[in-house]
Structure 1
Amino acid sequence: MEIKKVKLLSMHIQNFKGCKDRTIEFGEKARISGANATGKTTIFDAFTWLLFGKDSLGSSDFDIRPLDADGKMVDNIEISVAAKISVDGDEYDLKKVQKQKWVKKRGTNTREFQGNVNEFEINGYPKSQKEFKEFISEIVDEDVFNLITNPNAFNALAWKKQREILMKFVGSFSDVDIAEGFGEKYTKLIPELKIASTDDILKKYTKAKTALNKDMVEIPARIDEISKQLVIADVGALEVEKTAKEVALQKVEDELSGGNSKLEEINSKREEIMTLKFHLSEIQNAENQKLLLESTDIRNDLSRTRDTLNDLKRDVLNKESEIRDAHVKYEDHEREKNRLLVEWKSEKAKAYPALTPLEPLTDGSFICPTCGQDLPEEVKQKRIADYEARKTAYESKYEKDKAEFEENRAKRISQIEADGRSAAKSRDKFKTLEESLIKEKDELTTKLADAQREYEIVKKAVDGMPKVADVSKNADYKATLEKISALEKEIDEMSKDTSLMELKARRDILKNEIAEITGKIAAADNSKVKERIAELEAEQKEVGQKIAEQEQMIDLVEDFIRAKMKMISEKINGMFKLVSFKLFDNQINGGLKETCECTVNGVPLSSLNNGHRIVAGLDIIQSLSSLYGVSCPIFVDNAESINDFNVPEMDSQMICLAVTDDKELKVESEVKYD
């Protein structure tokens, strides 16, 4: 599939956050460096605000207006970001301007701020916000843009979302297609897969098994409980006793029918008391609301001190992370220096071997090997001349080879010494940085302790405030209490005639006794109890069979997931050069738990240092760009953590944001990494 290539050629930023006026030209590779707070991330934020109205972290709730010396936003200035981009070689000029809307109040000279207004342009032509968004969305989807421009974006997603994206590498194969590919092995599972995911199927059968296990535990107890209902009773005697009590109950009901008017009056007064008590609650709630308003300032202080405390805690954690990174780099350079020292000693110890002289001519060299007589004088002289020539050539070659060895050895030693000095310098640099960061952390820790004390003081003040308002002196509250007391006394006076109350009590007792006897008569019929026990025993057997069926389906689903994940893992991991993804975990009970964990050579991404995490993120971006068919400028934050030798060859434009000691922002195009 042909990949759409999007490049950022240049940007002009005015009054955006801390950037007053700056034009930046970008090459295929660009490096933006400087100390912290010099505006590196602001450039990335400006680009994403232009395209999508969000910062580089995907948040639309961030301040873009610059601040004055007192930390207040500067009004009455325009904020603008303009960029020239290239899409498959076609260039487009994009611009976004934000203005403030001020309206003069009628009858005054005062103007009120009515909000911000954004204006958009494409190639100099004004566009509505909708038209601008549609143009950008045709180039690249916002979610895809975030994934292929930030090496940390993919791994910051929830693992389920990561896996959902990775599954796109597999294609449009459904679980049903995969199951059918295994022949008859998963035939029983296919109808389920047609209507539900494996996760939902597992939940279904696990939930059913859990419920069945609960029933299996409860059924014996229910049988035992019902068995206790087997009773032996004299039904005839119970019927006689029931009839006698029903007669007595009717008599009491007749006597009560004459006293209903007084009871109605008492109930009316009780309802009035209830209404008055509701009024007491309203008074209490109103006073509680006043108390809450009075405590607003101190609660705001608590919120402020809590925010400060949490900010400092995050700063300390970030500083600790920077210290660890600096220490790792210090140790890397220290090991490199020590390795070079060993290599230097080895080179210094090397020596060219001493000259081994040629074997000299002997008397036998001048005797004829055939006849044993001395060779003629001219032959002797020729042999002597040949020997001297060979000796001269041999010694000359030796001297030449020795000189070449010494020259190469000197060059190697010189290079090792230079590399050693560089490693030592880098080591000392990161040691100094680590010490500086430790000092900064100590200062933050002191501030954190102060903030903790301030927070605890304010919290103690808040905790010491009353939770409920005191209404004992409220006139309305006191008057209502007095009305309630008077009504309760009237009810007491009306209730002194206890005959009605006694009759009601007698009626209730008789009703309870009749109900109890009725229950004993019904319980004496053991046939229903025995029938229920038989039903429960049959149910127990049926539940056991159903549990076995649920377990078989759970095992089948887990086996399918294992086979599917093995197949999918192999296909997905084949799409990446450096990273691999662990897509499921084996559980203690033998089951599978779906997951998504990025690893490099078997090491979890979370255990890698920052530089290796960035390199892993670049490998992921390379594959995602192929998946979505588009490449965009990659903004690499903390680029000082990576080096030329470990950065993969990328098909996208690279814009590296690196922390250096430079006080002013520095922009370089077509550069190497650190």
Structure 2
Amino acid sequence: MKIIKLKSIHIQNFKGCVNKLISFGELTKIYGANATGKTTVFDAFTWLLFGKDSHGSAKFDIRTLDKDGKMIDNLEICVEAILSVDGEEYTLKKVQKQKFVKKRGTGTTEFQGNVNEFEINGYPKSEKDFKEFISGMIDEKIFNLVTNPIAFTSLPWKEQREILMQFVVEKPDAQIAEEYGDKFLKLIPELRIASTDDILKKYTKAKNTLKEKMTEIPARIDEVSKQLVTVDVGALEVEKAAKETALKKVEDKLAGGTEKSKEINAKREQVMNLKFDLSDISNKETEILMEKRRGVASECNEVEEKLMSLKRQANSIAVDIESAEKQKESAETDKKKFIDEWRREKASVFPEMKTFLEYTPLPELAEDDLICPTCGQSLPKEVREKRISDYEERKKNDEERYKKSKAEYEERYISDKEKFEKNRENNLKSITEKGQKAADNIREYQKIINDKQQELEAVNAEIAKFEETLKEKEEIIDSIPAVADMSKNEEYQKISEQILMLENEIEEMSKETVGKTELEAKKAVLRDEISDIVAKIKSADNSKVKERIEELEKEKAEVGQKIAEQEQMIDLTEEFIREKMNRISSVINEKFKVVSFRLFENQINGGLKECCECTVNGVPYSSLNNGHRIIAGLDIISSLSKLNGVDCPIFLDNAESISKDNLPDVQSQLICMYVTDDKELKVEV
């Protein structure tokens, strides 16, 4: 574990702190009233390392203000700290100066920004080198998390969750499922090839498609059920027998006597049999027509099912096109962004080398320099020669120092320019690659769009084709008559003629019967009623319709079973996620002594929703008082420090919220800041 300790910090002209030197121990307590500069110490430390305040913001004022609230110019802001990193000490220094430039042709100066200077162990460093040193020592994000007790809980819950997941050694989902024995046996093959999210999407989509199909089946059953003919055949047979008996009595009366009646009845029976033959012929022809209608109706159902399938397919393709168009728009935005970045980078130019200051030679040795200041006489010869020799030596050394400085300046410029050019070249290359990738993505998504549009056009063409086919089938059904036309049936016509001849004979034989007109009328009525009953009995065959209804009911049951199977897989997947998250929660919470984390919550519909909530003894962090929040924060820092293998100084603000007896024992260096009545900072090590 890397151990970083803050040994001391020297703050000058930073946020109102004119000059303050603080030394730190393992436990350092800083006392002071509000606005006396306690937080300024932490801000100065983070500004030195990362150029930000203790809350991670780079936009904050560090320059001292006068009594009117205006910034005081021409003050150098300086923060210098001594750090111990694994026992080796480093002195880090950062100075900020204001840059003023005199306006040409005027006596006024103009502020042109701040300039930061950096040192490590007394050696001047560029900002880049300084930042590289700091990042090599510790990552900024990790530093914030292990130095500030409220840093972690201030993050969005998704970032908190992402950090906590680093405590878990990842295993493939299939391997985790196998550890539960037979519980998730059915799910393991799916987990080997897909994530839980993809599995849920797969079975949810299948379930929704099946539910859509399920909603269509009752309507189809209802439509077919309308073709059922509701007839009580038994009652019709009884009624028919009664009518036939009545008809016979009427015909007997018309016959006028037993013998004549027998003859007439024989002819009538012959007529009845012939009519039955006519009915059979008519029914057979009608049945042929009905079979044709049923065949075409079945074809219509198949076409309708295909149409529904094609329309669902078209909707799915349209969704894919919309998704690809959004991805293409995103790629086009990225491409434009990279083009702009490339142009800015391409336009960046390393500044021209400024002219090195002209050499100013040492003042020539004057005669007065060779005269004794006490007596005013010329110095002895050996002394004069020594002074002249020393002057020449200084002059020579001064010229050499100037040449060396100038050469170093030019070499540093060349080196910096080469680094700039190389860095720009690398940046251009990286941006070009990103832009090319974005362009490739645009082409790829456009190809997907084109392919999908062609596919959609093909499907729409199929839809149009099947709609036309459906229309043709419906026209065919409408063209098939419900009752057969027997006018061209020779056998039917021949029997009809026989019936007509016999009925004429019967009529001639029955003329002598008393009340003939009334009986004939009654006879005609009974015949018509019997014919109607026979027609109703013939039309009462619902076997084909019932068979189709049974098929649809069976299909409904099968779809219902499939829906149940999809829901079973969804429930099993959600149960696996729940078990996995319980296991992960347990592993993570074992890493903490005080706090626990709730990583998911159950939904009303039985599903899971990801979350990340810190609790202490079941109480949410947001409901804790300030003291318990600090204790929770220290527990989190302790675990995160172990996770990242680093031990940093912890700055504990508002430490008065915790009684001295309840101050947790932590391994890291602790810097506690207390709000007191002290008008000036008081430090206790």
* TM-score scaled by length of structure 2: 0.50
The separation in 2 between residues aligned to 1:35 and 1:573, in whole angstroms, is 38
* Residue 566 (1) aligns with residue 582 (2): yes
1:626 aligned onto 2:624: no
2:610 maps to 594
SS at match of 1:38: coil
Paired residue for 1:579?
595
Q: AA paired with 1:108?
A: T
Q: Equivalent residue of 1:102, what SS?
A: strand
Given the alignment, which residue of 642, 647, 669 partners 2:658?
642
Change (3 A) 1:523 1:658: farther
Counterpart CA distance in 1 for 2:118 and 2:552 is 75
Q: CA deviation at 1:170?
A: 2.0
1:187-336 correspondence runs (5 A): 187-190=185-188, 192-193=190-191, 197-199=195-197, 201-202=199-200, 205-206=203-204, 209=207, 213=211, 216-217=214-215
Letter in 2 for 1:104: K
- Match in the other structure for 1:330: none
Question: Residues 223 and 57 from structure 1, CA distance in 2 versus in 1: closer, same or farther, beyond 3 angstroms?
Answer: farther
Tell me how far 1:610 sits from its aligned partner.
0.6
Please name the residue that 1:7 is paired with: 5
Name 1:664's counterpart in structure 2.
680
**Counterparts of 1:616 and 1:184, CA distance in 2:** 40
The secondary structure found in structure 2 opposite 1:154 is coil
Answering whether residue 52 of structure 2 is matched by residue 36 of structure 1, we say no
Offset, 1:212: 5.7
Give the drift of 1:150: 0.9
* Equivalent in 131, 134, 145 of residue 133 of structure 1: 131
The amino acid that maps onto 2:173 is: D
- Aligned partner letter, 1:175: D
CA drift of 1:74 comes to 2.1
Q: Aligned runs of 1:507-526 on 2, under 5 Å?
A: 524=475
Q: Give the match's secondary structure for 1:8.
A: strand
- Deviates most, 519-528 or 156-165: 519-528
CA shift for structure 1 position 84: 0.4
Q: Tell me what 1:98 maps to.
A: 96
For residues 10 and 27 of structure 2, the distance between their equivalents in structure 1, rounded to whole angstroms, comes to 18
Shift of 1:64: 1.5
Displacement of 1:593 after TM fit?
2.6
> Paired residue for 1:108, among 94, 106, 109?
106
Aligned to 2:619: 603
Residue 70 of structure 1 and its aligned partner are, at CA, apart by: 1.6
Aligned residue in 2 for 1:265: none
- Residue in 2 aligned with 1:144? 142
Question: Considering only CA atoms, is the larger Rg found in Structure 1 or Structure 2?
Answer: 2
Q: How does 1:401-480 map to 2 (within 5 A)?
A: none
Query: Aligned-pair distance for 1:636?
Result: 0.9
Looking at structure 2, the residues matched to 54 and 656 of structure 1 have their Cα atoms a distance apart, in angstroms, of: 21
Supply the distance in 2 between the matched residues of 1:113 and 1:586 (Cα, whole angstroms). 59
Percent identical among aligned pairs is 71
How big is the shift at 1:184?
4.7
Change in 2 beyond 3 A, CA 1:111/1:523: farther
Partner residue of 2:20?
Answer: 22
Matched position secondary structure for 1:84? strand
> How large is the Cα RMSD of the aligned pairs?
3.6
1:225: how far off? Answer: 11
Aligned to 1:548: 564
Pick from 63, 66, 69: which aligns with 1:65? Answer: 63
Quote the residue 1:53 is aligned against: 51
Determine helix, strand or coil for the equivalent of 2:593: coil
Q: Deviations for 1:296-341, whole angstroms, at most 9, x for unmatched residues?
A: xxxxxxxxxxxxxxxxxxxxxxxxxxxxxxxxxxxxxxxxxxxxxx
How far 1:147 moved relative to its partner? 0.9
- How many residues were matched structurally? 377
Match of 1:325? none
CA spacing shift, 1:612–1:538, aligned 2, 3 Å: same
**1:46-86 deviation per Cα after TM superposition (whole angstroms, max 9, x unaligned):** 11111111111111122222222221222222211111011
AA partner of residue 589 (structure 1) = N
Letter in 2 for 1:88: D
Q: Which amino acid aligns with 1:71?
A: G
Q: Using the alignment, how far apart are the partners of 2:126 and 2:225 within structure 1?
A: 80
1:119 to 117, 129, 133: 117
**Alpha-carbon displacement from aligned partner over 1:648-668 (angstroms, at most 9, x marks no partner):** 210100111221122222221
Q: Displacement of 1:113 after TM fit? A: 2.4
What residue number does 1:511 align with?
A: none
Query: Mapping of 1:167-186 within 5 angstroms?
Result: 167-186=165-184
Provide the secondary structure at the position in 2 that maps to 1:137: helix
* Structure 1 residue 520: Cα displacement: 9.6
Three-state SS of the structure 1 residue aligned to 2:81 is strand
1:617 aligns with 2:615: no
- Residue by residue over 1:554-612, the C-alpha shift from the partner in whole angstroms, topping out at 9 and shown as x without a partner, is 21122112221222222222222122222222333333333222222222222221101
1:588 & 1:108 partners in 2: Cα distance? Answer: 75
In structure 1, what residue type is equivalent to 2:573?
V
Q: CA deviation at 1:227?
A: 12
Match of 1:163 among 161, 164, 180: 161
Local SS of the residue matching 1:57? coil
Once residues 207 and 76 of structure 1 are traced to their aligned partners in structure 2, the CA distance between those partners, rounded to angstroms, is 69
Q: Secondary structure of the residue that 1:71 maps to in structure 2? A: coil
Q: Which residue identity does 1:611 align to in structure 2?
A: G
Shift in alpha-carbon separation, 1:550–1:649, aligned structure 2, 3 A: same
Q: 1:45 to 1:209 in 2, by over 3 A?
A: farther
Compared CA separation, residues 667 and 192, structure 1 to 2 (3 A): farther
1:146: Cα distance to partner?
Answer: 0.9
The separation in 1 between residues aligned to 2:212 and 2:628, in whole angstroms, is 50
Instruction: State the alpha-carbon separation in 2 of the partners of residues 640 and 627 from structure 1.
Output: 29
Relative to structure 1, the CA distance from residue 48 to residue 201 in structure 2 (aligned partners, 3 Å threshold; closer, same or farther) is: farther
CA spacing shift, 1:114–1:203, aligned 2, 3 Å? farther
